[in-house]
Amino acid sequence: MESPNSDSLQGAVEEYGPRTDHRDIAAGYAAAVGAISASVLYIASVWVIDSSLFTLEWNPYFTALEFYWVVYSSLAGLVVTIPAAFLVGVAGERLSPSKTKSSGMLKGAVGTVATYAVAFVLLSALLFVTGAGSTGTGTALFTAVELAGLIVGVGFALTWWLTIPIGCAVGCVYTTRQSATSS
């Protein structure tokens, strides 16, 4: 027995699902996949260096972190990062559709940095709504903004070297795929 809304749900999935013909929605999916890839690759890079599979003569600052803290924070950060990347991808494609590989790479780099900004706004709102350990509205807002700034700032400092190149690659691949399918 089907629910009365199954046809409309199926229609929405066909229209806006991963195989959509909407370029802006597809760009959002591509950006979200880039965010997931960056998180997985960051965890893998810290694990490889932490486990001494790849020895370095120097210790990069990000390997001084506890590996389990890196896994937890990277996976927990995806709760905010995936929607932020999706929104930035959709907005970027709507504002300025990519036509060439180089414009896709540039939009991927700019979109990556913009994802940190949108993640800051989303995380601030999430922390404000949950109260973040504060009692008054003014205190809760200040605490939420301060804590979100700290979290996103540390996240950017630890991951920029990986996320920006991944953003460039995702932008290039997305533009190439869209050019190939529209031709």
- Which sequence spans correspond to the domains of the chain? 20-182
Question: How many Å apart are CA 162 and CA 104, to the nearest integer?
Answer: 17
Picking from 27, 18, 17, the residue whose alpha carbon sits closest to that of residue 176 is: 27
pLDDT in tens, 40-89: 998 888 888 777 666 666 655 555 567 788 888 888 999 999 999 999 99
Q: What is the per-residue burial (b if ≥16 Cβ within 10 Å, else e) of 149-163?
A: eebbeebbebbeebb
pLDDT in tens, 126-173: 988 887 556 677 788 888 899 999 999 999 998 999 999 999 999 999
Model pTM? 0.84
